[in-house]
């Protein structure tokens, strides 16, 4: 009998959300072979036929969003409001892809006899994360299918049931057999899929796993890697900012999804004249966040997604004093692991040398720093191996514009949380945050390869031959 993957709700150890056979290397290879066989017909079906399937999938997801909300909350511990927001993102991704996304890969004809087209790559592997188990893999799968690729999808081992739910909606939408395959399992299944005969790997998750995927593909330089990785994100708060707005957006950035978003704020750089008032208000807001069972009414955040995640987070959180910080907040949720409460640590200078200050932490914890000069704040925000998201809080647009192009992140928001993003914009980062293949609306670009054409209907003209070349 094959090994079983069992999904247990982090908020209720007696709630078995689902059980799935684990795909070993042979099972992965079989799924890839089915996708390879299905590819020519799906490619040749044409954009209109593919769009019809995608639109049916979108309607099914919209009609059953409440069902998906409950499943996400059960399986990964998201609060109901948070899970509902994620469930509501699947259908709009189809609309954006079939609109602006496909326009990016529409044929171009810059001059007579010159044309560019974008062709599907073939079979693409999608590795899904646990923090957005529906939205983030959907952000890869939809553009991959729309552009004519076939897909083998490995959901996170923490959220296999959400992945299976999505696959079932694709089947109901009329997606032909083999066009989307699902393989369930942990790191072994992921390695097998990375090493399989696929044409590209689309991954959202941690830097460590992204690095492992790159290592697994060193001998296959032609295999596309589109990596959306972690973050150690910054908020720059100026003394002229709307203080209540800055605190509210910061609290959301720190604690949304129990701090388990790659865009969550970890480093808060506040102008010295405002830092004490900012800290007092932020401590009050973070202390008042309601923590509890995800499906309870009025709960802001549930538990971390697993006991393993809890252990890693608490181990790093415990090193704050070792890093030289003064803890000003650590909320006790009054619940057993994997529940946690938000925390805040203040540092005496802008220096960031300790792993506590530099590594990604997947949980509701942030470090607070004071600055006297905006350029020093920009330099501190850039003092990171990550480069995903940042926000600038100020009433003065000129100060924000000074940060544009100087803060080295893929996302830079003004008077908005770091966790805010639009599906109509690119999404991604550089450094340990990704390899500059942003998703969002531009995902159709990495799902395709450009092909250039020089074209002519004219017959042979000997006058076009270069000197010294005889005619045929």
Structure tokens, 306: 């697993």
- For 57-164, strand residue ranges (E) read 108-111, 114-120, 123-127, 150-154
Q: How many CB atoms lie within 10 A of CB 80?
A: 19
- What are the strands of the beta sheet with 108-111, ordered from one edge? 108-111, 114-120, 448-454
* 432 and 205 Cβ atoms separated by less than 8 Å: no
Out of 228, 271, 360, 365, pick the active-site residue.
228
Cα 148 from Cα 50, distance rounded (Å): 8
Establish whether 262 is a catalytic residue: yes
Expressed in percent and rounded to 5, the helix, strand and coil fractions of the chain are 40, 20, 40
CA angle 67, 72, 76 (to 5 degrees): 160
Tokens 């910080």 found at:
325
Task: Give the 3-state secondary structure of residue 331.
Answer: coil
Establish whether 326 is a catalytic residue: no
Cα 41 from Cα 341, distance rounded (Å): 51
4 strand-pairing partners: 21
CB within 8 Å of 316: residues ≥ 6 apart: 355, 356, 359, 361
Which DSSP string do the residues of 230-297 spell out, in sequence order?
---EEEEE-TTS-HHHHHHHHHHHHHGGGG-STT-EEEEEEEHHHHHHHHHHHHHHHHH--B--TTST
Out of 262, 264, 403, 447, pick the active-site residue.
262
* 365 and 282 Cβ atoms separated by less than 8 Å: no
Cα 93 from Cα 86, distance rounded (Å): 11
Catalytic residue numbers read 228, 262
């Amino acid at each position: 009998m094959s090994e079983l993957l069992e999904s247990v709700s982090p908020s209720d150890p007696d709630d078995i959300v689902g059980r799935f056979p684990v795909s070993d290397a042979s099972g992965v290879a079989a799924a890839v072979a089915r996708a390879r066989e299905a590819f020519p017909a799906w490619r040749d079906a044409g954009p209109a036929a593919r769009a019809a399937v995608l639109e049916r999938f979108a309607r099914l997801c919209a009609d059953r969003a409440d069902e998906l909300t409950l499943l996400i909350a059960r399986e990964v511990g998201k609060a109901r409001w948070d899970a509902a927001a994620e469930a509501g993102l699947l259908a709009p991704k189809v609309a954006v892809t079939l609109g602006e996304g496909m326009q990016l890969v529409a044929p171009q004809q810059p001059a007579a006899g010159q044309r560019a087209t974008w062709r599907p790559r073939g079979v693409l592997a999608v590795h899904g994360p646990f923090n957005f188990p529906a939205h983030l893999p959907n952000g890869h799968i939809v553009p991959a299918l729309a552009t004519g690729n076939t897909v083998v999808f490995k959901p996170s081992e923490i959220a296999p049931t959400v992945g299976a739910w999505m696959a079932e909606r694709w089947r109901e939408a009329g997606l032909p057999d083999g066009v989307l395959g699902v393989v369930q399992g942990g790191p072994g299944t992921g390695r097998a899929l990375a090493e399989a005969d696929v044409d590209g790997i689309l991954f959202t998750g941690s830097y460590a796993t992204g690095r492992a995927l790159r290592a697994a593909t060193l001998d296959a330089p032609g295999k596309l890697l589109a990596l959306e990785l972690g973050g150690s994100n910054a908020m720059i708060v100026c003394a002229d900012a709307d203080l209540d707005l800055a605190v509210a957006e910061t609290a959301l950035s720190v604690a949304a999804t129990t701090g388990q978003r790659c865009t969550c704020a970890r480093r808060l750089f506040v102008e010295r004249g405002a830092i004490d008032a900012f800290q007092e208000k932020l401590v009050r807001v973070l202390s008042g966040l309601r923590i509890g069972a995800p499906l309870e009414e009025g709960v802001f955040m549930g538990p971390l997604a697993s006991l393993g995640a809890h252990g890693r987070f608490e181990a790093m959180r415990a090193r704050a004093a070792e890093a030289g910080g003064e803890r000003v907040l650590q909320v006790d949720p009054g619940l057993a692991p994997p529940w946690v409460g938000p925390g805040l640590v203040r540092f005496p200078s802008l220096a960031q040398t300790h792993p506590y200050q530099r590594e990604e932490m997947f949980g509701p914890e942030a470090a607070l720093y004071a600055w006297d000069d905006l350029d020093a704040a920009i330099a501190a925000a850039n003092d990171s191996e990550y480069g995903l998201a940042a926000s600038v809080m100020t009433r003065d647009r000129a100060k924000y514009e000074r940060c544009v192009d100087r803060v080295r992140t893929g996302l830079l928001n003004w008077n908005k949380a770091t966790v805010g993003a639009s599906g109509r914009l690119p999404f991604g980062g550089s450094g340990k945050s990704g390899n500059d293949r942003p998703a969002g609306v531009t995902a159709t670009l990495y799902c395709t390869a450009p092909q250039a054409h020089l074209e002519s209907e004219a017959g042979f003209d000997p006058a076009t031959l270069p000197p010294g070349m005889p005619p045929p």
